[in-house]
Amino acid sequence: MKIDYTPQLDFNDVLIRPKRTVLNSRSQVDINRNFTFLYSKIKLNVVPIIASNMDTIGTFEIYNELSKFNMITCMHKFYNLQDYKKYICDNILDPNLFMISTGIKDTDFEKMCEIVDYTKCNWICIDIANGYIKNLIDFCLKVRHKYPNKIIVAGNVATREMVEELIINGKVDGCKIGIGPGSACLTRQKTGVGVPQLSAIIECADSAHGVGGFIIGDGGITCPGDMAKAFCGGSDFVMCGGIFSGHDENPGKIIEENGIKYKMFYGMSSELAMKKHYGSMEKYRASEGRILKIKYRGRIKDTILDYLGGLRSTCTYINSKKIKYMPKCTTFLLVNNQLNKIFAK
């Protein structure tokens, strides 16, 4: 047994120090970013924010809205080929603005190949809760062999050595970072395992960039300031679930209790999700996801504009003309308090 005494930080442990800036308006900030990937030959210019592949978030309806802002939607695993065919009959899927997500079983591979070949999607997200198992590396190599020019992402992990392993030996372009930070995740409570998300991003970004890859900070975002801190810590992309929940565009009915409207949101390792998609939850596993009621928020467009406005404002405070430059413009301050909440209800 070892103890690492290095301080480990989450988003609420820091603030970003302001500095003199030559940016006189938020309108001068470029929130799009150009990407060239390590293994894929594809080049992208996107707003590097991704909707999570949860079944209430990674949907065609969310894609319809996020794509208008040049943002990416990671589709949930439970759409099949017929679902994509039906959607494409009346709509256009930009191959650069959505991801096909997959597990690592043989049946997952076959299903993923069918969908990728039909949709011509440029992104493949290999997604399992525990990215430290050997089978993940083997599956990543299998996918890379099949699709040498696709952008391949794998996760989730939260430490330097596994990021390097996945990029160097798994031949993925990037890694999804986060063990337990999500609002609907109970992994840390049920297992005691995890790394505070800001420290995980800082460490994993350093290792990924050192070997030519990129990272996606996945989870833990509670407000626009947290998203800014994720980019300032070195995230190339930020993936979000909870902040995109509770809107008109999310599936499910509006529930009203005591005059307050809600929509349901739940983790994909929750008992509800297991029973919904697999019929039951295996006795050898515990539910590692919450079932939450999210206050109804109206149109997702308003949430998107709020977050993009916050990012632009952060950039003006630190003299960063582009999201890409944010880490180089950042000094984090360790703090004991974030907000004055004396009059908050």
Alpha-carbon distances, residue 65 vs 27, 42, 202, 305 (angstroms): 21, 24, 30, 11
Catalytic site includes residue 185: yes
Contact 344, 258 (CB under 8 A): no
Instruction: Tell me the CA end-to-end span of the chain in Å, nearest whole number.
Output: 44
Both tokens assigned to 143:
């996918």
Q: CA Rg, the chain, in Å?
A: 20
Q: Are strands 72-75 and 98-102 parallel, antiparallel or unpaired?
A: parallel
Alpha-carbon distances, residue 54 vs 74, 114, 288, 314, 341 (angstroms): 8, 21, 14, 28, 32
- Taking alpha carbons only, the member of 130, 156, 121, 153 closest to residue 140 is 153
Q: Out of 74, 185, 240, 329, which one is annotated catalytic?
A: 185
Annotated catalytic sites, by residue? 185
